[in-house]
Amino acid sequence: MSETTADAPQLTRDEKKTIRIRWFLVGFLILGGVVNYLDRSTLSVANTTIAGEFGLDPFAMGLLLSAFSWPYAIANLPAGYLVDKFGPKKMFAFAAGAWSLVSIVTAAANSFGVLYACRVALGITESPFFTSALKVNERWFNKSERALPVSLVNTGSQIANAIAPPLLTFLLLTMSWRGMFIIVGAFGIVVALVWLRIYRDPTLKEQALIKGAEAEARVAASVEKVGWGRLLLQSNTWFMVLGAFGIFYTVWVYLTWLPSYLQTARGFSLAQSGWLASLPFLCGIIGVIFGGWLSNRLVRRGVNTVRARKIPIVGGAVLAAAAVLPVAYVDSTPLAIVLLSVGYFASQVPIGCLWTLASDVAPSNQVASLGAIQNFGGFIGAAVAPIVTGAILTSTGGNYTTVFLIGGVLLLVGALSYGLFVKDRSLAAS
């Protein structure tokens, strides 16, 4: 179902209603992504404050910053299966309610062990969100339209990353880090309750309007129950895992260590770093949207769907590497911030397309599962990044040169994995 201006006068009343519903859902999922990532960002913004209160060195802080990612990566595997089984309405509402309660409980932490346990719990409870969003997208959009709404949903995380440093720093300075955790947790409970109220799957008539012949093909494909074993036997799956690992590693160096980098390596105060750290993340919002727009445009121009996803993924990862690698050797602070901003913009160009690629190559009843497996690989990288960074900083006395070199190399690994080894074949094929 086209939504171009030229076709708009020909749309029926039912088509207009369907368009309104599905874009409203995309808008709410963007809000959900904002709240989801604000919860993740609380510890990064409070990094130096919590380290000082609990007497943690950089390596210990790296362990704490990674405590979210390990369980999140592992929990993505059952989360994808559960979303496919129970649907996005129940799983998203459950996840948002649970992660919000964990955030509120974190405010009462009185030791490193309790903080660590709370971050583990946060990782587990947040794992169904993006797979739920992917499932919503697969149900409400057809292939030619899918990359842009998936990318828009992923802008929620980038909006959160952009507003988190100044917003959470303000809450931290005015209410303490404990008050900051409580306020952010309260947001999530509201989101969960509203989602239960507003979401529904498309009716059969709406499915026909949205997907047309594709709906029949999807239904036929989903009759055969394709198990995880079949997915894991496909080389595409493993190279998607490796590619996501390389890209997510560097993204999470930004997410977990950028405020600390600006304070310790560049000499900014806590308040100053809160605003400066938002600049790369503002660029990330544009990057996610650009990647989805470019992919959709390529599809409409007749480019093969999988190739149209791979072009932004590979191009973004290569550009990000080209920007991140020189940061290790730049003395000028303004130039370093420009490079970091370009690097983060480029690293976000692939993000929506990664998720869309999973929905393109998986059978309908395995979309969330393949997306979860790929995200598992990405968050293994996310889990390793803060630990490796913390270890490097501890051993080098706070020198970030090796941190940026590793990040740039792994971005190139991600580009090669998707560009050369993810092929245009359906994972539903035997």
Lowest mean pLDDT among 38-42, 139-143, 183-187: 139-143
pLDDT, mean of residues 128-133: 90
Q: How many domains does the chain have?
A: 2
**Does residue 14 contact residue 121 with C-beta atoms inside 8 Å?**
no
* Cα 25 to chain centroid, rounded: 18
Same domain assignment for residues 234 and 193: no
Token reading at 350: 């692939």
* Overall average pLDDT of the 139-151 stretch: 82
More confident residue, 180 or 222: 180
DSSP 424: S
Residues 201, 138: contact at Cβ < 8 Å? no
50 pLDDT more than 80: yes
Residues 6 or more apart whose CB falls under 8 angstroms from that of 10 comprise: none
Are residue 112 and residue 183 in the same domain, yes or no?
yes
Whether the per-residue pLDDT at 156 is higher than 80: the answer is yes
- The predicted model gives 209-222 an average pLDDT of 54
Instruction: Answer whether residue 22 shows pLDDT above 50.
Output: yes
pLDDT for 227 equals 61
**If you write DSSP's letter for every residue of 186-201 in order, what string do you get?**
HHHHHHHHHHHHH--P
**Do 140 and 244 lie in a common domain?**
no
Shared domain for 290 and 370, answered yes or no, is yes
DSSP assignment string, 43-103: HHHTHHHHHHHHT--HHHHHHHHHTTHHHHHHHHHHHHHHHHHH-HHHHHHHHHHHHHHHH
What pLDDT score was predicted for residue 221? 46
Tell me the chain's radius of gyration from C-alpha atoms.
21
For CA atoms 119, 120, 125, 129, the dihedral sign is positive
The verdict on 116 and 147 lying in the same domain is yes
Q: Looking at the structure, do residues 255 and 131 belong to the same domain, yes or no?
A: no
More confident site: 14 or 403: 403
Domain boundary residue, one of 178, 212, 246 = 212
List, for residues 279-310, the tens digit of each pLDDT value.
888 898 899 889 989 998 998 898 988 899 99
71-118 tens-digit pLDDT: 988 898 888 889 888 999 999 999 999 999 999 999 999 999 999 999
Is 82 part of a structural domain of the chain? yes
Q: Which of 26-30, 138-142, 338-342 has the weakest average pLDDT?
A: 138-142
Quick: pLDDT tens for 361-388. Answer: 777 677 777 888 898 899 889 888 888 9
CA 319 to each of CA 26, 222, 239, 379, 413: distance values in angstroms, whole numbers, following the listed order: 28, 38, 20, 21, 13
Q: Is residue 328 assigned to a domain?
A: yes
Last residue in a domain, options 183, 212, 241:
212
Average the pLDDT over each of 63-67, 227-231, 396-400 and give the range with the smallest value. 227-231
What gap in Å lies between CA 251 and CA 161, rounded to an integer?
A: 11
Tell me phi and psi for residue 127, to 5 degrees. -60, -30
Question: Confidence band (pLDDT; 50, 70, 90) for 264?
Answer: confident
> What does the pLDDT average to over 29-36?
93
Most confident of 3-17, 80-94, 202-216, 353-367: 80-94
How far does CA 302 lie from the centroid of its chain?
28
Q: What b/e sequence results for 120-149 when a residue is b if at least 16 CB atoms lie within 10 Å of its CB, and e otherwise?
A: bbbbbbbbbbbbbbbbbbbbbbbbebbbbb
Residue 101 CA to its chain's centroid (Å): 21
Residue 273 backbone zone (phi > 0: left; psi -120 to 50: alpha; other: beta) = alpha
Query: Tokens for 228?
Result: 């995880």
Enclosing domain of residue 240: 230-424
Nearest to 282 by CA among 164, 416, 389, 418: 164
Whether 242 and 187 map to the same domain: the answer is no
pLDDT of residue 163 exceeding 70:
yes
Do 119 and 46 share a domain, yes or no? yes
* Position 281 in a domain: yes
* H or E segment and range at residue 328: none
Residue 217 resides in a domain: no
Residue 219 lies in a domain: no
- Residue of 360 and 425 predicted with greater confidence: 360
pLDDT value, residue 70: 84
- The closest alpha carbon to 319, from 347, 298, 352, belongs to 347
4 domain residue, yes or no: no
Q: Which two tokens stand for residue 113?
A: 């062990």
* Domain end marker among 212, 241, 271: 212
Alpha helices for 199-304 (secondary structure H): 204-211, 213-223, 228-232, 235-264, 270-276, 278-300
Q: What is the DSSP letter of 224?
A: S
DSSP state of 427: T
| Same domain assignment for residues 66 and 208 | yes
pLDDT over threshold 70, residue 138: yes
> Residue 116's closest CA among 174, 50, 171?
50
pLDDT-derived band at 320 (thresholds 50, 70, 90) equals very high
Average pLDDT for residues 223-247, to the nearest whole number? 79
Instruction: Indicate whether 335 and 379 sit together in one domain.
Output: yes
Higher-pLDDT residue of 394 and 121 is 121
pLDDT of residue 115: 93
Average pLDDT of the chain, as a whole number: 85
pLDDT bin (cut points 50, 70, 90) of residue 17 is: confident
Query: Residue with structure tokens 């900014």?
Result: 268
**pTM of the prediction?**
0.72
Domain-located, residue 330: yes
The verdict on 41 and 154 lying in the same domain is yes
* Domain identity same for 51 and 118: yes
pLDDT in tens, 323-365: 999 987 888 888 989 999 999 999 999 988 988 888 787 776 7
CATH number at residue 310: 1.20.1250.20
Tell me what pLDDT residue 246 has: 95
Residue 220 lies in a domain: no
Segment of 30-34, 133-137, 420-424 carrying the highest mean pLDDT? 30-34
Confidence of residue 223 (pLDDT cuts 50, 70, 90): very low
Enter the tokens of residue 280.
Answer: 């790369």
